[in-house]
Structure formats: structure tokens, C-alpha cells
Chains A and B, each alone.
Chain A
Amino acid sequence: MTGKIIFGIFVGLAGGFATGAGFVAFLTVLGVIPRLTQLTKTMKMIHYYEGAIIAGVVAGTWLGLQETKFFLHHFLLIPIGLADGIFNGMLAAALTEVLNVFPILSKRIGIQEKIIYLLMALVLGKIAGSLFQWIYFVDL
């Protein structure tokens, strides 16, 4: 029995290590946090941002695995949803950048100056696709 418990703890811990390391590696490659510190000029606070990420991941993991209910006002969901979206949007933007989509595309069709409009196509497409899915597509 004790052996089983110790083995269970070991497996859980190992799985957590691997997933956590993967998550941090992913964030590091995409460079979202440095970009945020650069935009807000808060380079010195980067350790606290690390703390925020870790706290968020731990809290999310724990609450996600439990059946906790807080019974708070539902308007609290609006800032949560917005923050969720901004973070995801930055991840998506970082991913397009890592993949070098725009430099190659603009060279191919020869529109260096109008590239910002192509960027807006991507942004508006993401917003429209997301709204369409949640409001209409999920009911189909």
C-alpha cells in the first residue's frame, strides 16, 4: 500500500515536472513576457512576472482539477475573459512571427508598405472567427 502511494506520488510529480518545463519552454521561445516588459518599460519587474506565471499555472491546475465553486458575481467573468483573450492573442501573434509568415509573404507578392493591412486581416479574422464560433457555431 505504502509502495503504491509513493509510486503514485512519484508518477504525478514526474508528469508535473515534464508539463511545467514544457510550458515554460514554450513561453520562452515565443518571448511574450519580454515583449510585455518592453511595451510597459518594466524590465526590472520580470521576476515578479515569472512569479505571476507560476502562480497562475498552479492555481489553474489545482482549481481545474477540483470542483470548487466561488459563487461570485458573474460580471467578474468579463475581465477574466478579456485577459484570457489578450494572452492568447499575444501567443498567436508570437507564433506567426516565429514562423516568419509575413516577411516571406510580403516579399512574394511585393507589398512591403501595405503589410500592416495584412496584419489587420489576421487580427480581424481571429476576432470574427472566434465570435462566430461562440455565438453561432457551437449551437449547430
Chain B
Amino acid sequence: MAVVYIRMRNRVQVKGNQTVRIKDIARIIGPEEVIQIIEETFLLTVKKEDKNIIVIDLAQLIMAIRKVDPQIEVQTFGPSQTIIEVIYSKKKMSYLTFALVWFLLFIGAGMTIMNFHVDVSMGEVHQKVFTLITGKLDEKPLLIQIPYSFGLGIGMILFFNHFFKKRFNEEPSPLEVEMFNYQQDLDRYVTMNENKENVRDLDDR
């Protein structure tokens, strides 16, 4: 009796109409001759009705392996399901959309900061600080305000730890961590809701 170790992959990408074999979604460790048979075992063909997310549960995988040979003992570790992302056509990013979004963010950021300054009367505070330090009055204390404006940008860049492609150290920036967390949340939602092994509705009876 052969023992095989299985580690399911977390996320895999496949093309439309592609056949998914066990080797595509899991890493199998065990005796050479057993692995070869298991890895090539056919699981499913991606159909149009599957839309773009398919979740394969560990239970389905073990069932498929037992169909090949019920004598095989399966030891599993790692994730207990694989999310298959079906990519029908690699979406080409359009530069027009990108430019539009860029422009939107640029104008939006500029306008919100102006609204914020008026909202908190920052101009008056700057005038007051000018008087505090120099003892003179200045209606337009640009000596504070221009360094302030550039500092605003520097502060944001420091926070995100990025200056275009250059980064200041090896650590992931809060933005990258945030993107990762968001993807994890999406994956968790999908594994709970798209996985047929997880949900059983009353009207299924």
C-alpha cells in the first residue's frame, strides 16, 4: 500500500476549455510509479457555465484518487481547496482607461486637499504661525506653504515606501500588504460560497 502526500495549490489559472488534471492543482509526493498515474488523472474540463471561478475541494480530489486506486493512502497538508481562475482572454489594459483613471485621481486628489485646507482654515493657521515666529503679519505666508505642499507629497511617498520603481527598503509597503489582504478576503469568500462541499441548502433535499 502506497502513501502519497498531497499539497493543494492555493490559486491556479487555467484557460477556457482546458482540461484540468490533478498535477495542475496539487503537488503530489510519493512513490514514482504511483505519482505518475495520479498526476495525469483527469479532473474536469472547463466549461462556459463554470464562469471564471471553480473551487476544487480536497474531498473531490481524494475521491478522484480513490477511483484510480482505493489502496492508496492519502496524507494531506496545506490548503484544503484550490481556487481555479479561468482566464478566457488575457485582458489587455487599455491606455485610455488608464489615462482617464490617472486624470480622475490627479484632479480628485487636488480638489480634496483644497477642500480640506479650507475646511480646517489652514490658511489662517499658517498666517498665525508666521506671526508667531517672525512677529510680522503676512497675508500669503508662502514661506511655510510651499515647503508644506512638497512635504505633503513626500509624506505620502514615505508612507507607501515607494518612489516610482525605487523602494527604500525590502519590506512590503502597506499598500502591498493591503492588496494581499484584500485578495485573501476575496479568496476566503469564494472558497466558502463557490465550494459545493461547503454549502448545503434546504431545498436541495
Contact = CB atoms under 8 A, between A and B. Distances in A.
A125 interface: yes
Interface string B102-146: 110111111111100100000101101111111110001111111
Interface string A92-126: 11100100101111110111101111111111111
B68 interface: no
Contact of B93 (A81, A110, A121, A124): A110
Contacts of A106: 179
A68 interface: yes
B145 A81 contact: yes
A63 interface: yes
Contacts, number: 224
Contacts of B42: none
Contacts of A89: 151-159
A92 B140 contact: no
A41 B88 CA distance: 45
A127 interface: yes
Nearest to A110: B91
A21 interface: no
A89 B149 CA distance: 9
B165 interface: yes
Contacts of A71: 134-135
Interface string B150-185: 111111111111101100110100110011011100
Contacts of B159: 32, 35, 89-90, 93-94, 97
A42 interface: no
Given A84-B148, A100-B182, A123-B156, A129 B134 contact: no
Interface of B is mostly: helix
Interface residues of B, number: 65
B164 A81 contact: no
A85 B152 CA distance: 4
Contacts of A63: 132
Contacts of A6: none
Contact of A125 (B106, B146, B182): B106
B153 A123 contact: yes
A83 interface: yes
Contacts of B155: 85-93
Contacts of B113: 92, 125-126, 129-130, 133
A126 B153 CA distance: 7
A32 B125 CA distance: 23
Given A39-B161, A88-B148, A109-B98, 18 more contacts: A39-B168, A63-B132, A72-B133, A77-B129, A78-B147, A79-B147, A81-B146, A82-B154, A85-B152, A88-B152, A94-B174, A97-B159, A115-B175, A116-B164, A125-B109, A126-B110, A126-B152, A135-B142
5 contacts: A72-B134, A88-B151, A116-B162, A122-B106, A124-B106
